[in-house]
Structure 1
């Protein structure tokens, strides 16, 4: 009888954990302005290290929350005032297994680092519109923001 109690407690704990993860996801999506995306977190092995999550647009920030996490705070915050898109490409090699086929990888540069994000091709249009809709910059403060619209992808 003792083994059944332990198994029952483990099952209830697992169900509670799954409920908490999905409840957190629903809370993040409540306010609107959320997209599914993946961020290249780990670059040790080429083509691997993608982390799925939700992107939440809040003012001038894109906040990345990991999909399978209980954290309330975002894992990464991208400020559109310092964000530029440098390259757009299709997933290659092992990346094709980590994300759906209609997704696009964007190589972006922030004020202090470089980051790769992946999202659905249809979401890229909205993301680029949000990026372009930012307030104008002081012409002498930073280099220009090369944001490009949808274009055919060579592959």
Structure 2
């Protein structure tokens, strides 16, 4: 078989893999959304350089937990979980420097405290209102309300 046919076959396989990956992302997004409404939620995973370390993702409230899924992963499981009783809202700010290019245009950076240390999230103002309401809506009798 001539070299050009090998190259053409290689390109066809590569295109097929990209299409399959895209379909897997769509199916995963629908499966994640089926078990509760999702919203755009970015998380800062690394803090070694100012303004860097952000990863785009999806957030979903599942009972008393906030689940975070990476946007370009095909895994059906959340990458991070935060329990309502352990997540404390500290404040918010607008993205600065390189964050403006990394995050979605209208998102705000939210600082939270957890038992594992500080967490920075980026989400839309409407989603921030939902997050604050979710944190404050803990059932009566939990540690925050005693």
Q: Verify same fold: TM over 0.5.
A: yes
| Equivalent residue number for residue 35 of structure 2 | 31
Once the two structures are superposed, residues 96-127 of structure 1 have per-residue CA deviations (whole angstroms, 9 ceiling, x without a partner) of 11123321111101122211001001111111
Q: Could you tell me which residue of structure 1 aligns to residue 12 of structure 2?
A: 8
Hey, what does 1:119 align to over in structure 2?
123
Q: CA deviation at 1:90?
A: 0.9
1:110 aligns with 2:114: yes
Kindly indicate whether residue 71 of structure 2 is the aligned counterpart of residue 71 of structure 1: no
Distance (whole Å) between structure 1 residues aligned to residue 92 and residue 16 of structure 2: 44
C-alpha change, 1:93 and 1:137, in structure 2 (3 Å) is farther
Q: Could you list the per-position Cα deviations for residues 44-76 of structure 1 after superposition, in whole angstroms to 9, with x for gaps in the alignment? A: 111011111110100000000000011221111
SS in 2 for 1:81: helix
User: TM-score, normalization: structure 2?
Assistant: 0.89
Matched, 1:40 2:44: yes
Question: 1:62-101 maps to which residues of 2 (within 5 A)?
Answer: 62-101=66-105
Task: Give the gaps of 5 or more residues in structure 2.
Answer: none
When the two chains are superposed, the root-mean-square deviation of aligned CA atoms in Å is 1.6
How many residue pairs get aligned? The number is 141
- Residue 151 of structure 1 corresponds to which residue in structure 2? none
- Structure 1 residue runs without a partner (length 5+): 146-155
For residues 105 and 20 of structure 1, the distance between their equivalents in structure 2, rounded to whole angstroms, comes to: 29
SS in 2 for 1:136: coil
Report SS of the residue matched to 2:86.
coil
What are the residue-to-residue correspondences of 1:129-140 with 2, within 5 Å? 129-137=133-141
Secondary structure in 2 matching 1:7: helix
Stretches (4+) displaced over 3 A = 136-139
CA distance in 2, matches of 1:80, 1:28: 20
Deviation at 1:138, TM superposition (A): 5.1
